[in-house]
Amino acid sequence: MLLIKDASEVFLPDGVQKNASILIEDGRIKKIGKNIGRADEVIDARGKTILPGFVDAHTHAIFAGSREFEIEMKLSGKTYEYIAEHGGGINYTVKKTRDASFHQLLSESKERLDRMLEYGTTTAEVKSGYGLDTKNEIKMLEVAKELDEKHAIDVIPTFLGAHAVPPGMEKDDYVELVINEMIPEVADRGLARFCDVFCENGYFTVDESRRILKAGKEHGLTPKIHADEFSSCGGAGLAAEMNAISADHLLMASDDGIKRMATAGVNAVLLPAVPFSLMQERYAPARKMMKEGVRVALATDLNPNCWTENMQFVIQLACFKMGMTPREAIEGATINAARAVGMENEVGSIEEGKKADLVIIDAPSHVFIPYHFGVNLVEKVIKNGKVV
Ligand SMILES: [Zn+2]
């Protein structure tokens, strides 16, 4: 039993409770309130705030190498196409990831998970998509499995074979490979829970995405979509049609697409660190989505082109760039993110019976997360009832 005692504030689903404690037993939240009993182990939380552990609902945390050499090209206004032609872009990461051994990929990725945990993330979705052939996509997902088993963070694996067309291959042939070989093999081995696709001009069309997601569904993989990031090409609508658990990015989502997502109950996963790192003015229309009744989740999109492990920073961007309130943004980083990865019954909120995945922040209220930005406010992380 662990008692976290006398917190200045506890962030609950229906508001905050002041001067409250949390009693944890067998890794789960047993009681929340005042004078709720004793425990052998006590954490004094006076002056601090307890939040649910962050759920990062969209990451590409498994990759090899880094692409810091692109920064000056980006800053001088070079396009993504120019950078790709000059040795950068996704193909660089694909080459590095293919060349990396299982153990090298594991150790590079584990460092990122360690940092995510330090910044308060206790559950993370992680995608494949830098292998782009059967062997290396499986290698990435096996790294995800190993991390889930060995690391404190719960890793939720997503198959994203349709991230890009690998060099030297025709797109039609690659789509067939994804559908006929990769999806069945990934599903047979139980290596993924979701099937994702990069639905975008120049990547995979709505029709190709539909075929890939259908094939995934037939093999028990729930659909997710990278939708309407650079252009309004119908990804949000496809997410609704396919009953996807989430549609992600959505900077350019049409009004009709947003309405259809609301009706179908598709969660939006917004990734404000992406326009930030691309120096774009435009962010996803979070307020419009919430007004239409879409649940908004947040995530880092951690990848070599948008490298942050820090969900506090994402909350700050959600408030300052998308006009979300501190509560909306923290719910986006916790319970709504848990919904977007199908984990809402276990994690994402502080409720009796749920897993004791908690962060203690060194501040008297949750509002300090956007207010006091650019630092790590997390003092302790509790995963399954244990301080990690
Ligand atoms: Zn992504």
Q: What is the pLDDT of residues 30-87, one digit of tens each?
A: 999 998 989 999 999 999 999 999 999 999 999 999 999 999 999 999 988 889 888 8
Ligand 1 centroid vs 59 CA: distance in angstroms?
6
Ligand 1 centroid vs 196 CA: distance in angstroms?
9
CB 250 within 8 A of CB 267: no
Q: Tokens 């989740």 — which residue? A: 297
User: To the nearest whole number, what is the mean pLDDT of the chain?
Assistant: 96
Q: How confident is the model at residue 334 (pLDDT cuts 50, 70, 90)?
A: very high
Q: What is the pLDDT of residue 85?
A: 86
Residue 257: name the closest of 284, 280, 225, 233 by CA.
233
- State both tokens at 123: 């559950």
Q: What is the pLDDT of residue 306?
A: 96
CB 4 within 8 A of CB 22: yes
In the chain, pLDDT over 90 holds for what percent of residues?
94
Ligand 1 centroid vs 226 CA: distance in angstroms?
6
Q: What is the pLDDT of residue 233?
A: 83
Torsion angles phi and psi, residue 2, rounded to 5: -130, 135
Ligand 1 centroid vs 278 CA: distance in angstroms?
14
Q: Tokens 């790192």 — which residue? A: 277
Ligand 1 centroid vs 301 CA: distance in angstroms?
5
Q: What is the pLDDT of residue 81?
A: 81
Q: Tokens 């993370």 — which residue? A: 124
Residue 365: name the closest of 117, 120, 18, 118 by CA.
18
For the entire predicted model, the pTM comes to 0.97
Indicate the residue type of 137.
Answer: E
- Tell me the pLDDT tens digit for each residue of 85-98: 888 999 999 999 99
- Tell me the pLDDT tens digit for each residue of 272-326: 999 999 999 999 999 999 999 999 999 999 999 999 999 999 999 999 999 999 9
Ligand 1 centroid vs 79 CA: distance in angstroms?
19
CB 204 within 8 A of CB 212: yes
- Tell me the pLDDT tens digit for each residue of 140-164: 999 999 999 999 999 999 999 999 9
